Amino acid sequence: MIFAARMFLEPAYKSQRSGWIEVICGSMFSGKTEELIRRLKRARIANQKVEIFKPSKDTRYDERKVVSHDENALLSKPILSSKELLAIQEDTEVVGIDEAQFFDVQLPEICQELAVKGKRIIIAGLDMDFRGQPFGPMPALMAVAEYITKVHAICPHCGNLATHSYRLSEENETIVLGEKDKYEPRCRLCFTMGAILQFK
């Protein structure tokens, strides 16, 4: 089976009267932040004013930078609440938000408010938690977004597309920060097989 990947290209509508919302979602290690950084860099190449935000609780790679697993990075502003997004500069044209699943439930409403003001909002986040359940405000964000891109990792056990983030540790909290030491991407079937695959 052949899967064709389509690169997201910025839409351009002559009659566009407002901004819009783009959501990049998927499992861990699927390239969400990498795609977010790619789009934000393209906006800067187009001489657009860009502001980038991340939840202050995400300190895995850097306290202030948005960093992909491939170590590409952009300077960002860590914030505690989605309401802080309303303080962006008036001439900002593009707003980037990473790790959106960690934000509060007001994030979709805030993003819609900014879009109505003409801002292009680009959001990246996990669509499911380690239990395989919808994560934080992500379902609501996808419901109100004009554009949704689902990216995939590769399951290390079978080589199929990975859609789930399997937690390798025994912690039960919904939010546990970690990388390959605590998580691995898995396809649907390997995810349901659970810990038995760790002993192969």
Distance CA 162, CA 30 (A): 8
63 is catalytic: no
Given the residues 22, 35, 51, 99, select the one marked as catalytic: 99
Alpha helices by DSSP H, 94-198: 107-116, 138-144, 188-193
- 84-90: long-range contacts, CB 8 A cutoff, minimum separation 24: 84/53, 85/53, 85/110, 85/111, 85/114, 86/110, 86/113, 86/114, 88/51, 88/114, 88/119, 89/49, 89/51
Distance CA 186, CA 92 (A): 38
Give Cα separations from 185 to 20, 31, 147, 196 (angstroms). 30, 12, 24, 15
- Catalytic residue IDs: 99
